[in-house]
């Protein structure tokens, strides 16, 4: 699924944030921001700094939107009414939404810097984590590093054979064939004759049967290779490229203690502008300004401003009457929202570290849970530990969402047990978020296709009269916080330009 | 956050218990497509994620429409179109479902939850509308 997401445009690298020069704000000019997620709070923060009078309307009782962390003591009520109490021990958490900040997400990184938000490395690739296919190796999970080394070694060996059999004589010059042969031996840890076989050198890649030790400890013993055919048929090679995608390349970070520390840092700066529990019911505009109707604790209210930045997810906005061009209206209604589910599981101890020396990183499986991600924080802690026990997209995400929350947790434990038998003994409690049941988004993120983008994206992003939209849905980085923040920067720059060039 | 829950009819409450049983026993699909076959199984594996186990819908910042007792379901082609191609926030599900499966779940929803539409759709009807 990651590969599929990458091909949908996830891989685009965000541009460096320039300095927002919002000069020459007209005295008394007002902006109404709808939604206090990262796009909304970024807009409010920057617009107020520039001199606008800003107000934010937020549906929830707190800021952050999808930038969200669940900790012990939190209560979460999903659509349908099911309420979960998070029972995690103090300091443990899951981020149901975004959980990583790649180093090249420059807009997010610049606010992390500006607000002094503490971050730590997020371990994406762990060579000692597991890759698992129920239909391969009798369902026994394999070590990432063994699959990685053997796949690379066998591939290098086979390509070396092709060279020796003159299969590339037509394609490469003699000099290039020689260099390629040399590089294959280097890349695949092959012998001088370009064989990939059990050896000390190969075990330096894939690990030893008996690892080297000190003094009179047993002599190091190289490990056996996986069978080549079994490895190819296992399809486990699918999982060893994820870390090579630019979004997952080192360095990746996470805020210490939970992703919502980013939301809280914004809230600290713009919280005084936010009206909470405000459910937007209608957005109207004229050549004089914008009027937004909303409900607050059952009372109908109205807010007015000269301009409006609307960051409400399109899954919700498409249900609200919006006065805008037909092009923008069509764009708002064009975007379905992805199904996605995360399940956080707390265990009595960090058995993955204590029993298996897995410190952070991700194990991959063809089971419906898709992967297990181990916490990249509090290593070697002796208390309870929380891992991400399911991170699901596609068909299985719909199936997980359809279950009651406690059933989702039960299923995640049931499946995870096939990878870590310790689950049976050590499981303590869990919490599950199905994004289509999240009351403020009704889905995970805007699911663009190339066709839809060609037809609607420009219309969606226009300053339409006195209204502009922002959020991950108005970006080429869907689902990422970088998309939300960079879209906000772009939207308010254009809105400001129109504001200063519009008479009165 | 307080979520408004629509009051349930006594008759629908009976159905909740049976539908929950159905999902309890259901395994998950392996691979990228839904493997459930019957309309009932498909409803409880997919639709109830948003429209809820009893098809009563839900309300938050926006809403999911109730499918229970919904006169819009009278127009079968409309229901087929929504399931196949989606609309607004609703995803197109034809990428995960065969024409037969779509017909099954459409028929099930149109004849349960207080809906009593008697015309039955088949895979050919879906084929025409889904435009794969």
Cβ atoms of A109 and A240 within 8 Å: the answer is: no
Assess B71–A contact: CB distance below 8 Å, yes or no. Answer: no
Strands A274-275 and A53-57 turn out to be parallel
Shortest Cα distance from A330 to chain B (angstroms)?
A: 9
Q: What is the pLDDT of residue A503?
A: 72
Q: What is d(CA A484, CA A262) in angstroms, rounded to the nearest whole number?
A: 13
Assess B94–A contact: CB distance below 8 Å, yes or no. Answer: no
Q: Do B60 and A439 touch (CB under 8 A)?
A: yes
pLDDT higher than 70, residue B26: no
CB nearest B29 (choices: A314, A395, A403): A395
Instruction: Write out the residue range of the structural domain in which residue B16 sits.
Output: 10-130
Q: Do B60 and A440 touch (CB under 8 A)?
A: yes
Residue B121 lies in a domain: yes
Q: How confident is the model at residue A13 (pLDDT cuts 50, 70, 90)?
A: low
Q: Phi and psi dihedrals of B91, rounded to 5?
A: -75, 150
Shortest Cα distance from A70 to chain B (angstroms)?
A: 15
Q: Phi and psi dihedrals of A168, rounded to 5?
A: -120, 15
Residue B2 lies in a domain: no
Residues of chain B contacting A396 with CB distance shorter than 8 Å = 28-29
Q: Which of A403, A407, A433 should one mutate to test binding to chain B, selecting the residue with the greatest count of B CBs within 10 A?
A: A403
CB nearest A315 (choices: B44, B45, B89): B89
pLDDT higher than 90, residue B13: no
Q: Do A436 and B62 touch (CB under 8 A)?
A: no
Assess B17–A contact: CB distance below 8 Å, yes or no. Answer: no
Q: What is the CATH number of the domain that holds B78?
A: 1.10.760.10
Torsion angle defined by CA atoms of residues A68, A74, A78 and A82, in that order, rounded to the nearest 10 degrees: 160
Q: What is the pLDDT of residue B7?
A: 37
Mean pLDDT, residues B98-109 taken together: 98
DSSP code at position A89:
P
Q: What is d(CA A438, CA A440) in angstroms, rounded to the nearest whole number?
A: 6
Higher per-residue confidence, A15 vs A465: A465
pLDDT in tens, A18-73: 778 899 999 999 999 999 999 999 999 999 999 999 999 999 999 999 999 999 99
In sequence order, what DSSP letters do the residues of A115-132 get, joined into one string?
TT--EEE-----TTSEEE
Shortest Cα distance from A121 to chain B (angstroms)?
A: 32
Q: Do B88 and A315 touch (CB under 8 A)?
A: yes
pLDDT in tens, B32-74: 899 999 999 999 999 999 999 999 999 999 999 999 999 999 9
Count of domains forming chain B = 1
pLDDT in tens, A399-455: 999 999 999 999 999 999 999 999 999 999 999 999 999 999 999 999 999 999 999
CA-to-CA dists, residue A15 to A18, A367, A452, angstroms: 9, 36, 23
Mean pLDDT, residues A489-500 taken together: 97
Residue B41 lies in a domain: yes
Q: How confident is the model at residue B31 (pLDDT cuts 50, 70, 90)?
A: confident
Q: What is d(CA A431, CA A409) in angstroms, rounded to the nearest whole number?
A: 6
Q: How confident is the model at residue B20 (pLDDT cuts 50, 70, 90)?
A: very low
Q: What is d(CA A208, CA A206) in angstroms, rounded to the nearest whole number?
A: 7
Q: What is d(CA B108, CA B115) in angstroms, rounded to the nearest whole number?
A: 9
Shortest Cα distance from B124 to chain A (angstroms)?
A: 24
Q: Which residues pair with A299 in a beta bridge?
A: A296
Domain topology for A22-56+274-336+448-501:
FAD/NAD(P)-binding domain (3.50.50)
pLDDT higher than 60, residue A356: yes
A115: tokens are: 């607000």
Q: How confident is the model at residue A12 (pLDDT cuts 50, 70, 90)?
A: low
How many beta-carbon pairs under 8 angstroms link A with B? 118
pLDDT in tens, A117-171: 999 999 999 999 999 999 999 999 999 999 999 999 999 999 999 999 999 999 9
Shortest Cα distance from A65 to chain B (angstroms)?
A: 12
CA-to-CA dists, residue A132 to A226, A227, A354, A415, angstroms: 14, 16, 21, 12
Q: What is the pLDDT of residue A448?
A: 96
Residues of chain B contacting A401 with CB distance shorter than 8 Å = 49-50
Mean pLDDT, residues A478-488 taken together: 98
What crossing angle do the helices spanning A144-164 and A174-188 adopt, rounded to 10°? 160
Q: Do B5 and A81 touch (CB under 8 A)?
A: yes
Q: What is the pLDDT of residue A15?
A: 63
Q: How confident is the model at residue A14 (pLDDT cuts 50, 70, 90)?
A: low
Q: What is the pLDDT of residue B10?
A: 37
Domain topology for A70-128+250-257+338-437:
Polyamine Oxidase; Chain A, domain 2 (3.90.660)
pLDDT in tens, A369-396: 999 999 999 999 999 999 999 999 999 9
Q: What is the pLDDT of residue A415?
A: 96
Q: What is d(CA B120, CA A145) in angstroms, rounded to the nearest whole number?
A: 54
CB nearest A79 (choices: B3, B44, B47): B3
pLDDT higher than 50, residue B22: no
Q: What is the pLDDT of residue A11?
A: 47
pLDDT in tens, A188-233: 999 999 999 999 999 999 999 999 999 999 999 999 999 999 999 9
Cβ atoms of A489 and A42 within 8 Å: the answer is: yes
Which residues are CB-contacts of B74 (< 8 A; sequence separation ≥ 6)?
Answer: B117
Residues of chain B contacting A337 with CB distance shorter than 8 Å = 89, 91
Higher per-residue confidence, A504 vs A175: A175
Length of chain B, in residues: 132
Reduced to 3 states (helix: H, G, I; strand: E, B; else coil), residue A73 is coil
Reduced to 3 states (helix: H, G, I; strand: E, B; else coil), residue A77 is strand
Residues of chain B contacting A394 with CB distance shorter than 8 Å = 32, 96
pLDDT in tens, A240-287: 999 999 999 999 999 999 999 999 999 999 999 999 999 999 999 999
Shortest Cα distance from B2 to chain A (angstroms)?
A: 7
pLDDT higher than 80, residue B79: yes
Q: What is d(CA A371, CA A201) in angstroms, rounded to the nearest whole number?
A: 31
Residue B3 lies in a domain: no
Is residue B81 classed exposed, middle or buried when 0-12, 13-18 and 19+ CB atoms within 10 A define those classes? middle
Q: What is d(CA A494, CA A468) in angstroms, rounded to the nearest whole number?
A: 9
DSSP code at position A455:
I
Assess B20–A contact: CB distance below 8 Å, yes or no. Answer: yes
Residues of chain B contacting A395 with CB distance shorter than 8 Å = 29, 31-34, 96
pLDDT in tens, A78-103: 999 999 999 999 999 999 999 999 99
Nearest chain A residue to B53, by CA: A402
CATH architecture of A144-234: Up-down Bundle (1.20)
Residue B109 lies in a domain: yes
Residue B1 lies in a domain: no
Q: What is the pLDDT of residue A17?
A: 79
The residue ranges of every structural domain in chain A are: 22-56+274-336+448-501, 70-128+250-257+338-437, 144-234
Q: How confident is the model at residue B5 (pLDDT cuts 50, 70, 90)?
A: very low
Residue B92 lies in a domain: yes
Residues of chain A contacting B87 with CB distance shorter than 8 Å = 333
Shortest Cα distance from A406 to chain B (angstroms)?
A: 11
Q: What is d(CA B50, CA B56) in angstroms, rounded to the nearest whole number?
A: 10
Q: What is d(CA B28, CA A417) in angstroms, rounded to the nearest whole number?
A: 16
Q: What is d(CA A93, CA A385) in angstroms, rounded to the nearest whole number?
A: 9
């Amino acid at each position: 699924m990651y590969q599929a997401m990458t091909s949908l445009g996830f891989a685009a690298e965000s541009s460096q944030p320039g300095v927002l020069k919002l000069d020459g704000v007209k005295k008394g000019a007002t902006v109404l921001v709808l939604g206090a997620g990262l796009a909304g709070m970024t807009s409010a923060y920057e617009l107020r700094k520039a001199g606008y009078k800003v107000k934010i309307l937020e549906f929830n009782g707190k800021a952050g939107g999808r930038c969200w962390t669940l900790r012990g003591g939190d209560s979460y009520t999903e659509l349908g009414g099911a309420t979960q109490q998070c029972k995690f021990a103090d300091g443990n958490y899951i981020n149901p939404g975004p959980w990583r900040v790649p180093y090249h997400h420059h807009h997010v990184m610049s606010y992390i810097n500006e607000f002094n938000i503490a971050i730590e490395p997020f371990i994406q690739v762990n060579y000692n984590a597991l890759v698992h296919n129920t239909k391969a190796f009798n369902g026994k999970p394999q070590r990432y590093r063994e699959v990685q080394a053997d796949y690379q070694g066998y591939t290098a060996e086979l390509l070396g054979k092709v060279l020796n059999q003159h299969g590339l004589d037509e394609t490469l010059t003699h000099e290039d064939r020689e260099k390629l042969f040399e590089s294959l031996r280097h890349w695949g840890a092959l012998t001088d004759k370009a064989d990939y076989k059990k050896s000390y050198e190969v075990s330096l890649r894939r690990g030893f049967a008996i690892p080297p030790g000190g003094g009179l400890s047993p002599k190091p013993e190289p490990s056996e290779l996986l069978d080549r055919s079994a490895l190819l048929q296992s399809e486990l090679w699918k999982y060893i490229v994820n870390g090579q995608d630019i979004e997952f390349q080192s360095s990746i970070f996470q805020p210490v203690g939970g992703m919502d520390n980013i939301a809280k840092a914004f809230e600290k700066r713009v919280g005084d502008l936010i009206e909470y529990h405000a459910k937007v019911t209608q957005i109207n505009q004229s050549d004089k300004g914008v009027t937004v109707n909303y409900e607050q604790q059952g009372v109908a209210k109205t807010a007015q401003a000269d301009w409006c930045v609307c960051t409400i997810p399109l899954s919700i906005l498409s249900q609200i009457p919006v006065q805008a061009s037909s092009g923008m209206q069509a764009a708002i209604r064009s975007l379905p929202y992805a199904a996605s589910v995360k399940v956080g599981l707390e265990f009595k101890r960090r058995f993955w570290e204590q029993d298996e020396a897995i410190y952070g990183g991700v194990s991959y499986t063809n089971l419906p849970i898709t992967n297990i991600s181990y916490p990249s924080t509090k290593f070697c802690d002796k208390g309870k530990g929380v891992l991400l026990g399911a991170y699901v997209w596609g068909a299985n995400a719909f199936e997980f969402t359809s279950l009651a929350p406690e059933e989702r947790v039960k299923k995640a434990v049931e499946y995870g047990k096939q990878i870590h038998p310790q689950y049976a003994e050590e499981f303590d409690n869990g919490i599950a978020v199905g994004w289509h049941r999240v009351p403020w988004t009704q889905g995970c993120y805007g699911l663009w296709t190339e066709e839809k983008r060609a037809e609607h994206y420009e219309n969606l992003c226009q300053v339409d009269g006195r209204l502009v939209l922002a959020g991950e849905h108005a970006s080429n980085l869907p689902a990422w916080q970088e998309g939300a923040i960079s879209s906000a920067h772009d939207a308010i720059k254009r809105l400001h330009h129109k504001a200063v060039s519009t008479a009165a | 956050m307080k979520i408004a829950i629509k009051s349930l009819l006594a008759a629908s409450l009976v159905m909740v218990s049976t539908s929950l049983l159905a999902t309890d026993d259901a395994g998950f699909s392996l691979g990228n497509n839904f493997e459930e076959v019957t309309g009932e199984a498909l409803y409880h594996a997919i639709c109830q994620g948003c429209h809820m186990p009893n098809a009563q819908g839900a309300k938050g910042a926006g809403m999911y429409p109730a499918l229970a007792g919904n006169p819009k379901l009278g127009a079968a082609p409309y229901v087929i179109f929504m399931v196949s191609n989606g609309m607004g926030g609703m995803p197109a599900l034809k990428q995960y479902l065969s024409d037969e499966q779509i017909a099954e779940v459409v028929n099930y929803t149109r004849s349960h939850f207080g809906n009593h539409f008697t015309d039955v759709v088949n895979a050919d009807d879906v084929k025409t509308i889904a435009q794969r």
